[in-house]
Structure 1
């Protein structure tokens, strides 16, 4: 029985020694990716936060296009303006039947989506892709949309008793909105 007990202790000792070797090899107790140097005090050891570089924030792109009225949505109050937008915005203006609102709901690189509300009526337009856009003609008795390639369309022409809205996509995420009224 003493021989069996001795063999059991020997096996336990071998298993314990193997466990110690494995623990030391795995670096148990260290939360660093690098092995700690015995000669450097804990305050000089590189921390995980020091070894991880954080990317610097990238500045917002500046619009590559300019608009006659810049980004001033109040310039559109009378139904005639040219502005640049790079984020969702609500633009109040005077429509053929009174107050109206142009709400840009989505704008991004080569992308624009908007809704025009006037009285009880509503019209939506959206375009995506380089050189794309929409034209909405808002009249006292309704509205109509046309979306697609604008090419070199330039400023839309005024129409009697209407507000013409042209929204053009921009490569850098800035859309150009032109409102033209016959007033």
Structure 2
């Protein structure tokens, strides 16, 4: 009889251990499932930044592309004739003919309510930048020099063409997309 009791105890112990293992396995699977579902669409989930930053920049590019309406969209080639309105969300370099020959406009930094740029034409160059909502810089480029003014952009309309000059306007955007306007006279 004693052998039967020991066998029953061993069987009960194994059954209890199996139930405990099964419960632990279920808890682990449930935790993994909840963790995986919580990651979808949130930080670390679908569309999140990978270690090398690829998805974050893809997501940033897609959202920035929709944020500012510009006549020529994001097409820097539209500026090659010295007349364009484009939205930029990352550093770009644009070349066009100006009053002193080839002009190079380089946007060196774009961020929320921030833009920095460098402009070079012939022997002259100008660097500038501005921070703040609705702020911008206006550069008038002539063959004998340039003038720059920065501050509030007022009514937000594009600059007027000026005789024998190229006018460049760079305006900040709150989401990190800046508006560039180039007008040749």
Same fold (TM over 0.5): yes
Matched, 1:139 2:142: yes
The CA RMSD measured in Å over matched residues stands at 2.3
1:38 CA displacement? 5.2
- Which structure shows the higher helix fraction? 2
- Gap runs ≥5 in structure 1: 1-36
Q: Deviations over 1:151-175 (max 9, x none)?
A: 2141101111110000011112111
- Gap runs ≥5 in structure 2: 1-18, 49-58
Of structures 1 and 2, the larger Rg is shown by 1
**Among candidates 100, 106, 109, match of residue 109 of structure 2:** 106
Partner of 2:45: 55
Partner of 2:128: 125
Pairing of 1:75-86 with structure 2 (within 5 A): 75-86=78-89
SS in 2 for 1:39: helix
Tell me the TM-score normalized by structure 2.
0.70
Distance in 1, matches of 2:24 and 2:125, equals 67
Distance in 1, matches of 2:151 and 2:107, equals 17
Matched, 1:39 2:21: yes
SS in 2 for 1:117: strand
**Among candidates 111, 116, 119, match of residue 119 of structure 2:** 116
Partner of 1:96: 99
